[in-house]
Amino acid sequence: MTTRTWESLTIPAAGTYTIDTAHTSIGFVVKHMMVSKVRGSFGGFTGSVTIADNPLESTAELTIQAETINTGAPDRDGHLRSGDFLDVEKYPQLTFKSTRVTAHSGDEFTVVGDLTIRDVTREVELTVEYGGAGTNPWGQAVWGFSISTEFDREDFGLTWNQTLETGGVLVGKKVKIEIEGEANPAA
């Protein structure tokens, strides 16, 4: 992999890189019954990152297939795919497109962009940790990243809930997204 030094980081050369779906996971966490957390993931997605000559001008985009949501509970997954939540038949994709990099410190970057769920687009802020670059044993260039963000699901029209007898609600409003991944030069 062609790398360069930028502000004491060894980063990939400018260019477009494709998200390696075999080495990337997109997970989420939501409060359940006000007492615990449910974790889930999306298995179908594509994305790319274009690293600019000035890394602070880089861009990224991600498309997630909504029907691939998986929490390990088929009944819950069916409910999440329904009109109460993602409505995957009407809105088959969730998308993110970056608009700017607003800050960085060491290997951590703040990336702002437009997240679209159910045809509702809101600006969100991601914390992106650059993991480093190298070449795998098969000679392919690889660089890694960790991404996290949190948003209020009701901002995207995901308002279904159920009040509990003991007070509170069944499903928390806050959704935390956690992405661990790798990218390779685009073909």
For the segment 71-130, what is each residue's pLDDT rounded down to a tens digit? 999 998 998 899 988 999 999 999 999 999 999 999 999 999 999 999 999 999 999 999
Is 18 within 8 Å of 43 (Cβ atoms)?
no
For the segment 125-165, what is each residue's pLDDT rounded down to a tens digit? 999 999 999 888 888 889 999 999 999 888 888 776 666 56
What pLDDT score was predicted for residue 3? 85
Supply the CATH number for residue 76's domain. Answer: 2.40.128.110
Report, as an integer, the average pLDDT of 4-33: 90
Domain range enclosing 56: 3-182
In the chain, what percentage of residues exceed pLDDT 90?
A: 67
Does the pTM surpass 0.85? The reply is: yes
What pLDDT score was predicted for residue 167? 63
Distance (Å, whole) CA 73 – CA 94: 21
Residue 187 located in a structural domain: no
Q: Is it the case that residue 58 has pLDDT exceeding 70?
A: yes
Q: Is it the case that residue 169 has pLDDT exceeding 60?
A: no
Residue 109 located in a structural domain: yes
Distance (Å, whole) CA 131 – CA 182: 9
Residue 16 located in a structural domain: yes
